[in-house]
Amino acid sequence: MKISMTDLLYALSFALDSVEHDLLGVTTYHAGRVAFLCAQTGRAFDLSDQQRLDLACAALLHDNALTEYAKSEYSQGVDLLGLHEAGQSFPDLGTHCTLGERNIEHMPFFPRVRGAVLYHHENADGSGPFGLSAAETPLYAQIVHLCGVLDLRFSYGTSEVGKFDRTHAFLEGGRGRLFSDEVVDAFEERVTPGMLEGLDTTHPDDLLHYQLPYVEREYGNDDLTHIADFFARITDYKSRFTHDHSQGVADKSRAMAQFYGLGDDLAAKIYLAGALHDIGKLIISEDVLEKPAALTHDEYTYIQTHAWYTFEILRKVAGLEDVTRWASLHHEKLDGSGYPFGKHAIELSGIDRLMGCVDIYQALTEERPYRGGMLHRQAIEIMRDMAANGKIDGAIVDDIDACFAS
């Protein structure tokens, strides 16, 4: 299957940035700006377009495990948002580096960036989480570190003036301590005052499209599975209520594709759609998603926007048109009462309907912190009622029954 790798990464980083913004109060599009600054700084090292693209990829994904890390810190009572607001550093910072490097290990688009995520918090004097000096830290990691620290510290996404002078003073003070001379020199040589001051006015995706080559690649079914698992893991970490929901929907939709004999290629695409269907939840605020009490009408409506965001995130990825459709229509109903588009039966294909049914089946049968998972039989009964009321496809419910009964 041919997908645009660049589109996919930009889409993903938008979702990841929203998480970072929500959990840690970081300005939105942090990773996008960092990627742009890294690609720009990389020019000073005569990196090829492809190498700068790899560097930008590492930058886009440098904090991919932040949800995973933040969740475990919050569960131990550490208030990361409070620490960030007070300008204090986070405990066990190396954890998100280790988890982040592990998450991208099997991603199919990433041959040259080993260590860039793992070591993106190392300081030149060896005072970072893994105690590596600048000489021991891979170049890409050093560049991501410098650009990441600067964007957090000087909020390049805001329209404040004087960013360049403040940045310059900070970089000079950080030479040899935070950053190596060669990376500071490279940044100062390639990132001009006008560029830095103007960074808040252009969307980082547009900057990256302008800066970097456009790469479309053929992905095999194993690659698709790795991409899918990566997305599912990040989405599922967002909510402890539904900690393996995306993975469950992916597994069960693929099982259904096999049940129908749809063939390996289609099954792999359906698996990817299952993994991505709730990716829009990354945009939904933690407070509402994790609210322990009943939701108000407004909150319920707000949560429904996750399906819209799934559409919004995926629609920009060339090659992913079918997957986008199957993933974002999972809350549509045959009688037009679903969301986000209010489509009717005639507009919903078999796979659209299947994705909706599998989502319901998975939600009913999975365990939640406040209840156990429902038995297969009970779930099917509820779904038969929904089918009788014209909401979902009764034939698909029968097939799900046949496929998962044992």
Nearer to Fe ion, 164 or 339 (CB): 339
Q: Closest approach of Cβ 220 to Fe ion, in Å?
A: 27
Cβ count near 212 (within 10 Å): 20
Q: Closest approach of Cβ 304 to Fe ion, in Å?
A: 9
Paired sense of beta strands 216-218 and 2-4, if any: antiparallel
Piece of the chain touching Fe ion by CB under 5 A; list 251-259, 337-345, 353-361, 389-397: 353-361
Cβ count near 389 (within 10 Å): 12
Q: Closest approach of Cβ 271 to Fe ion, in Å?
A: 15
Nearer to Fe ion, 303 or 403 (CB): 303
Q: Closest approach of Cβ 120 to Fe ion, in Å?
A: 6
Among 359, 360, 379, 386, binds Fe ion (CB under 5 A): 359
> With binding defined as CB under 5 A, does residue 20 bind Fe ion?
no
Piece of the chain touching Fe ion by CB under 5 A; list 55-63, 174-182, 217-225, 261-269: 55-63
Does residue 44 contact residue 88 with C-beta atoms inside 8 Å? Answer: no
Nearer to Fe ion, 63 or 223 (CB): 63
Q: Closest approach of Cβ 180 to Fe ion, in Å?
A: 18
Nearer to Fe ion, 195 or 288 (CB): 288
Nearer to Fe ion, 223 or 354 (CB): 354
Q: What b/e string do you get for 224-246 counting C-beta neighbours within 10 Å, with b at 16 or more?
A: bbbbbbbbbbbbbbbbeebbebb
Piece of the chain touching Fe ion by CB under 5 A; list 26-34, 57-65, 150-158, 204-212: 57-65
* Window 232-271: contact mask with Fe ion (x via CB under 5 A): ----------------------------------------
Piece of the chain touching Fe ion by CB under 5 A; list 40-48, 275-283, 338-346, 349-357: 275-283
Q: Closest approach of Cβ 268 to Fe ion, in Å?
A: 20
Half-sphere exposure of 234 (CA within 13 A, CB side): 31
Q: Closest approach of Cβ 124 to Fe ion, in Å?
A: 17
Among 7, 17, 54, 63, binds Fe ion (CB under 5 A): 63
Nearer to Fe ion, 4 or 247 (CB): 247
Nearer to Fe ion, 223 or 327 (CB): 327
Nearer to Fe ion, 129 or 319 (CB): 129
Nearer to Fe ion, 63 or 205 (CB): 63
Q: What b/e string do you get for 118-133 counting C-beta neighbours within 10 Å, with b at 16 or more?
A: bbbbbbbeeebbeebe
Q: Closest approach of Cβ 245 to Fe ion, in Å?
A: 6
Half-sphere exposure of 32 (CA within 13 A, CB side): 30
Piece of the chain touching Fe ion by CB under 5 A; list 80-88, 170-178, 194-202, 351-359: 351-359
CA dist., res. 17 & res. 37, Å (int) = 16
Contacts of 48 (CB under 8 A, 6+ apart): none
Among 329, 297, 337, residue whose Cα is nearest residue 310 = 329
Q: Closest approach of Cβ 138 to Fe ion, in Å?
A: 15
23, two tokens: 């959990």
Does residue 46 contact residue 222 with C-beta atoms inside 8 Å? Answer: no
CA dist., res. 220 & res. 109, Å (int) = 12
How many residues sit in the footprint of Fe ion (CB under 5 A)?
3
Q: Closest approach of Cβ 183 to Fe ion, in Å?
A: 17
Q: Closest approach of Cβ 275 to Fe ion, in Å?
A: 11
Q: Which SS3 state, helix, strand or coil, does residue 284 take?
A: coil
> With binding defined as CB under 5 A, does residue 278 bind Fe ion?
yes
CA dist., res. 170 & res. 203, Å (int) = 25
Q: Which helix (H) or strand (E) holds 174?
A: helix 163-174
Between helix 350-365 and helix 264-276 the angle, nearest 10°, is 50
Piece of the chain touching Fe ion by CB under 5 A; list 14-22, 169-177, 320-328, 357-365: 357-365
**Integer CA distances (angstroms), 37 to 30, 56, 72, 139, 278, in order:** 11, 9, 30, 14, 30
> With binding defined as CB under 5 A, does residue 54 bind Fe ion?
no
Nearer to Fe ion, 278 or 312 (CB): 278
Nearer to Fe ion, 164 or 305 (CB): 305
Q: Which pairs from 49-52 meet CB under 8 Å and 24+ separation?
A: 49/212, 49/213, 50/213, 51/112, 52/211, 52/212
Give residues in contact with Fe ion (CB under 5 A). 63, 278, 359
